[in-house]
């Protein structure tokens, strides 16, 4: 071992011992006769110390040649530090260096290896190994490791078995686009990489495995955004002989366990909200409940006063921004422009200041008297000093727009503290949703989700009203988990495929093995999958999952460090019986 201790380990109690440390030169300071080196490894930083006259002249000379990020091995005595540093775990001591060995030199890094680096995103992606040396990334990966260990510990304690499912599976047209893998041994045929182990975990339930989990990579060939990667990791779980309540309790327990063991936070019982309620109160199926600012339905109150836009709207919805009555015209205009951007798509915004003197001021005062505003403010719970923000239009669209505005205002008012955690179960999701473009129903969760038993008949009469035993786990406005009770009856599954526009032949071709399995004693079962990358990011108080993945891809799906994907040899293609098509761009 090139060390006796790590760079984060030595304390006052080690004073007098001779130790060997190895690590990277974080910085060195040469004050003439005195030389200090901060030596860094994964565990911390320890100060090395040399002194002209006292130190061996050759060692002193060698120490002076060390640059940033050189890898060295230093042996010496632990001594008490003259000026202690209580910001550092090792701040009570330093090492008086007796021997020094250069293990490897380093060129000057293209950016500084500091908590706040001077390197841009592209540069840091290309030199990922240097970026990974920075504390913020290191802490993220350590956090990720801990969450993985604790998740397994919890699930193992409840008799869940981690069972590996295959990565080379079969392409299915439902859902997102598959990555495919040509088969050399089966010319002209392809494997697909799994978008999730969904059918395999259900097969394991049919196989009697009862409680399954896997922390597993999944693949989706979709266009990428900041929080999406072509490969991502799920905590994937399934249970047999359970009802929805059992799953909610079991996985609420998982999240509580993770908060407790990883962050030392006690999470009280997780509230539940139906999908319909979440949409009504927050205009979102993943409401951020760290703050209120709930939707107020002002339709009745605001219609019939002669303001045509509101009178013609399906819904007039408002939120109250506490203490914002002082907003200037400029601020209001800026908000109006913000909601009118194409990403939000509102036609306009009505703001009403609830002045401290009890009067009201809005841009539509010619339609609404002070008395009407008084009533509206009372209904909305707006107090003097508050600002009422109102959007109108078709219900679904208006909810969506106002939800975005609510999140914006919540952020601006400092109500979205990343160190505050407010989880929520959203339950009773619709089973299917109509896709105008495709002209057919699509599964809201996936085609294996069971309708609520008393909603079976709705599949015939009005599928859009059918609710499923499907649930999402939402944390601070982010969906980090979702699942459902599955269909375990072949007839219902066939009926579902039928509703989704699969012909019996297609259903049999794609999912025949599952349909057949349902005829050989499939138990009632259900499950959930958590997005591991997002969960880690939220635990780390961050938005971007990239900083929680050791080697992420960029928005073009490229790993710029290794320069992948890349072209392959003609010989490789010939062996696989494939060719590339000409590219017209």
Residues of span 512-571 touching a copy of itself by CB under 8 A: 512-513, 517-524, 549-551, 553, 556-559, 561-569
Between 394 and 564, name the residue whose CB sits nearer to a copy of itself. 564
Q: Binding of a copy of itself at residue 491 (CB under 8 A)?
A: no
For tokens 């999406």, the residue is 228
Give the Cα separation of 339 and 348 in Å (integer): 7
* CA–CA distances in Å: residue 279 to residues 116, 146, 284, 322, 567: 40, 35, 5, 22, 47
Query: 413-452: which residues touch a copy of itself (CB under 8 A)?
Result: none
> By CB under 8 A, is residue 217 in contact with a copy of itself?
yes
Q: Report the distance separating Cα 38 and Cα 49, nearest Å.
A: 9
Contact with a copy of itself (CB under 8 A): which of 185, 225, 304, 436? 185
Q: Which single residue is written with the structure tokens 């989700």?
A: 449
How near is the Cβ of 161 to a copy of itself at its closest, in Å? 4
Does 579 interact with a copy of itself (rule: CB under 8 A)?
yes
User: For 152-155, which contacts have Cβ atoms below 8 Å and span 24 or more sequence positions?
Assistant: 152/213, 152/215, 153/257, 153/261, 154/253, 154/254, 154/257, 154/258, 155/211, 155/213, 155/237, 155/254
Q: Give whichever of 92 and 131 is closer to a copy of itself, judged by the CB atom.
A: 131
Query: With respect to a copy of itself, which residue has the nearer C-beta, 206 or 380?
Result: 206
Nearer to a copy of itself, 307 or 425 (CB): 425
Residue pair 171/253 in contact by the 8 Å Cβ criterion: no
What SS3 class is residue 460? Answer: helix
Among 41, 288, 472, 547, binds a copy of itself (CB under 8 A): 41
| Segment interacting with a copy of itself (CB under 8 A) among 343-351, 426-434, 498-506, 577-585 | 577-585
Residues 230-249 that bind a copy of itself (CB under 8 A): 230-231, 233, 241-243, 246
Alpha carbon distances (Å) from 225 to 141, 500, 556, 557, 560: 21, 28, 9, 10, 16
Shortest distance in whole angstroms from residue 10 CB to a copy of itself: 16
Q: Which of 53, 173, 264, 414 binds a copy of itself (CB under 8 A)?
A: 173
Cα 38 to Cα 72, 82, 138, 459: the distances in Å are 11, 16, 18, 68
**186 part of the interface to a copy of itself, by CB under 8 A:** yes
Q: Which of 136, 182, 253, 385 binds a copy of itself (CB under 8 A)?
A: 182
Residues 253-272 that bind a copy of itself (CB under 8 A): none
Restricted to residues 192-211, the positions that interact with a copy of itself (CB under 8 A) are 192-193, 199-200, 203-204, 206-211
* CA-closest candidate to residue 217, choices 227, 232, 195: 232
How far apart, in whole angstroms, are the C-alpha atoms of residue 385 and residue 41?
53
- Smallest gap, in angstroms, from Cβ of residue 290 to a copy of itself? 30
| Position 111 contacts a copy of itself (CB under 8 A) | no
Shortest Å, Cβ 171 to a copy of itself: 5
Nearer of residues 165 and 284 to a copy of itself, judged by Cβ: 165
**Among 79, 141, 372, 515, contact with a copy of itself (rule: CB under 8 A):** 141
CA distance 167 to 192: 8
Q: Residue 559 Cβ, how far from a copy of itself at the closest point, in Å?
A: 6
The set of residues, in sequence order, having a beta carbon less than 8 Å from that of 287 and lying 6+ positions away, is 273, 278, 281, 403, 424, 426, 474, 477
180 binds a copy of itself (CB under 8 A): yes
* Nearest distance, CB of residue 483 and a copy of itself, angstroms: 16
Instruction: List CB contacts of 524: < 8 A, sequence separation 6 or more.
Output: 240, 241, 242, 243, 485, 488
What H or E segment, with its residue span, contains residue 407?
Answer: helix 395-412
Closer to a copy of itself by CB, 24 or 360: give it. 24
Which listed range, 39-47, 292-300, 353-361, 493-501, lies at the site for a copy of itself (CB under 8 A)? 39-47
Q: Name which position in 30, 61, 84, 105 contacts a copy of itself (CB under 8 A).
A: 105
Among 22, 46, 449, 484, the residue binding a copy of itself under the rule CB under 8 A is: 22
Residues 6 or more apart whose Cβ sits within 8 Å of residue 454: none
How many Cβ atoms from other residues are within 10 Å of residue 86's Cβ? 7
């Amino acid at each position: 071992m090139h060390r006796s201790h790590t760079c984060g380990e030595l304390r006052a109690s080690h004073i007098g011992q001779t130790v060997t440390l190895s690590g990277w030169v974080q910085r060195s300071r040469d004050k003439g006769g005195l030389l200090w080196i901060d030596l860094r490894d994964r565990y911390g930083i320890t100060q090395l110390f040399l002194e002209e006259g006292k130190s061996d002249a050759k060692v002193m000379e060698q120490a002076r040649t060390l640059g940033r990020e050189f890898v060295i091995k230093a042996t010496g005595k632990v001594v008490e530090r003259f000026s202690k540093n209580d910001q550092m775990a090792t701040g009570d001591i330093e090492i008086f260096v007796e021997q020094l060995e250069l293990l490897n030199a380093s060129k000057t890094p293209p950016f500084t290896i500091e908590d706040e680096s001077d390197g841009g995103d592209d540069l840091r992606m290309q030199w990922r190994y240097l970026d990974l040396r920075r504390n913020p990334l290191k802490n993220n990966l350590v956090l990720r490791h801990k969450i993985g260990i604790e998740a397994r510990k919890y699930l193992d304690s409840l008799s869940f078995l981690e069972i590996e499912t295959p990565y080379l599976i079969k392409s299915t047209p439902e859902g997102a686009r598959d990555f495919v893998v040509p088969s050399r041994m089966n010319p002209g045929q392809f494997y697909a990489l799994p978008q999730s182990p969904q059918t395999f975990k259900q097969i394991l339930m049919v196989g009697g495995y009862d409680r399954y989990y896997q922390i597993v990579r999944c693949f989706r060939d979709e266009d990428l955004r900041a929080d999406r990667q072509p490969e991502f990791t799920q905590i994937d779980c399934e249970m047999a002989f359970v009802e929805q309540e059992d799953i909610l309790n079991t996985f609420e327990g998982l999240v509580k366990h993770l908060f407790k063991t990883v962050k030392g936070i006690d999470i009280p019982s997780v509230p539940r909200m139906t999908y319909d309620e979440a949409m009504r109160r927050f205009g979102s199926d993943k409401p951020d409940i760290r703050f209120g600012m709930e939707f107020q339905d002002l339709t009745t109150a605001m219609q019939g006063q002669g303001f045509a836009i509101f009178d013609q709207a399906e819904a007039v919805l408002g939120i109250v921004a506490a203490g914002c009555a002082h907003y200037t015209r400029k601020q209001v205009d800026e908000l109006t422009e913000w909601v009118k951007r194409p990403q939000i798509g509102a036609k306009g915004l009505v703001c009403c200041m609830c002045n401290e003197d009890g009067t009201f001021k809005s841009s539509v005062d010619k339609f609404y008297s002070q008395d009407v505003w008084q009533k509206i403010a009372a209904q909305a719970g707006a107090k003097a000093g508050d600002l009422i923000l109102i959007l109108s239009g078709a219900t679904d669209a208006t909810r969506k727009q106002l939800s975005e505005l609510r999140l914006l205002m919540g952020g601006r008012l400092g109500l979205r503290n990343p160190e505050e955690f407010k989880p929520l179960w959203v339950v009773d999701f619709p089973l299917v949703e109509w896709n105008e473009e495709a002209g057919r129903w699509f599964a809201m969760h996936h085609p294996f989700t069971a309708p609520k038993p008393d909603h079976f008949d709705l599949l015939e009469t009005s599928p859009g009203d059918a609710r499923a035993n499907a649930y999402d786990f939402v944390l601070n406005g982010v969906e980090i988990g979702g699942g459902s009770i599955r269909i375990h009856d072949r007839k219902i599954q066939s009926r579902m495929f039928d509703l989704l526009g699969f012909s019996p032949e297609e259903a049999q071709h794609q999912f025949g093995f599952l349909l057949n399995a349902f005829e050989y004693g499939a138990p009632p079962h259900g499950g959930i999958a958590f997005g591991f990358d997002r969960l880690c990011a939220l635990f780390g108080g961050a938005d971007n999952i990239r900083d929680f993945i050791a080697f992420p891809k960029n928005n073009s799906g490229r790993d710029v460090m290794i320069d992948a994907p890349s072209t392959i040899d003609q010989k490789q293609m010939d062996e696989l019986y494939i060719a590339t098509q000409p590219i017209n761009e």
